[in-house]
Amino acid sequence: MSTTTQTETAQLQLNAGSIRHALSDVVKTDDWSDFKFTPIRESTVSRAMTSRYFKDLDKHAVSDVIIVGAGSSGLSAAYVIAKNRPDLTVTIIEASVACGGGSWLAGALMSAMIIRKPGHLFLEELKIPYEDEGDYVVVKHAALFITTVISEVLKFPNVKLFNATAVEDLVTRPDGPNGELTVAGVVTNWTLVTQAHGTQCCMDPNVIELSGYKNDGTRDPSAKHGVILSTTGHDGPFGAFSAKRIVSIDENQKLGGMKGLDMNHAEADVVKNAGKYNGVNSMYFAGMEVAELAGCNRMGPTFGAMLVSGIKAAEEILKHFAE
């Protein structure tokens, strides 16, 4: 039960003038000596968190769209998908505690983020201020970009982020019309568990399944098949996860391997190669994971291709659900 307080326009008097107090509902004077929070039990806090988490896990156990990796490319895609299709269940799995991947600092531990045009149009959509330098724009703080995208994406009611959760494997089924493999979900674990696999005996994972199946696990032809968009970045402790896994499953593909830095070629090539993966159904890629899959150059600290490849993959996914 909530505790109500009288609303008054409380004023905190400072020498510099009169400032409206941010807690005007609660704090009525500048005397803090009898300040109290509303009462709570510890178990109430536990239940408030666990009930929601497991309700969300239950709802998202079958998802229309699973986005693996919440860096700049994955979150740009999530924004476009969730905004255009509020009816789709969108699940974001992020291995780290914090979303954002490499975009908290744009490059070389410096704060300004460079975005080549026309990637700046996405900044306009999100009302993120930038300095226009002609062919490119600069966002003063990369952190401003990523925090804005995170907050916009997480406001959509159809989106749930499971952070500190790693995708450990893909669920596959041989259910294409000609026996082609289809990706049917992701295998997840809390990242701390994933990191401890080498030190403990078997700790089995959880599964998030894509929509489009009947209760017996066979394809439901009346329901649209869900999709996975993988945006786990280039190779690293966790990166390029789905790219590496898919080529180990698909005998017709080899990992291209990310090539050296070439800004001019890399950004357009990543965008051109982003989107649906040909060979295994229901799988899409964006961001630097595309460079690993297709063998594109890296671009270093220019982020236009992250935003635009995410938007391209999102648009292909929207088309899939519209067909």
Rank residues 64 and 289 by Cβ distance to ligand AHZ and give the closer one.
289
**CA nearest to 23, candidates 35, 40, 15:** 35
Binders in 79-118 for ligand AHZ, by CB under 6 A: 93-96, 101-103
Binding ligand AHZ by CB under 6 A: which of 123, 142, 193, 299? 299
170 binds ligand AHZ (CB under 6 A): no
314 binds ligand AHZ (CB under 6 A): no
Q: Which stretch binds ligand AHZ (CB under 6 A): 79-87, 112-120, 176-184, 234-242?
A: 234-242
Rank residues 181 and 266 by Cβ distance to ligand AHZ and give the closer one.
266
d(CA 250, CA 245): 9
Closest separation between CB of residue 221 and ligand AHZ, Å?
31
Tokens 């945006």 belong to: 231
Rank residues 69 and 212 by Cβ distance to ligand AHZ and give the closer one.
69
Count the residues of the shown chain that bind ligand AHZ, applying the rule CB under 6 A.
31
- The four Cα atoms 69, 71, 75, 78 give a dihedral, to 10 degrees, of -20
**CA nearest to 153, candidates 208, 53, 81, 98:** 81
Contact indicator for 154, 165 with CB cutoff of 8 Å:
no
Site string for ligand AHZ, 49-78 (x = CB under 6 A): -------------------xxxxxxx----
Tokens 């709570």 belong to: 40
| Residues 180-208 as b or e (16 or more Cβ within 10 Å = b) | ebbbbbbbbbbbebbeeeeeeeeeebeeb
Contact indicator for 170, 176 with CB cutoff of 8 Å:
no
Q: Which stretch binds ligand AHZ (CB under 6 A): 59-67, 129-137, 153-161, 293-301?
A: 293-301
Contact positions vs ligand AHZ (CB under 6 A): 68-74, 93-96, 101-103, 166-167, 231-234, 238-239, 241, 287-289, 298-300, 303, 306
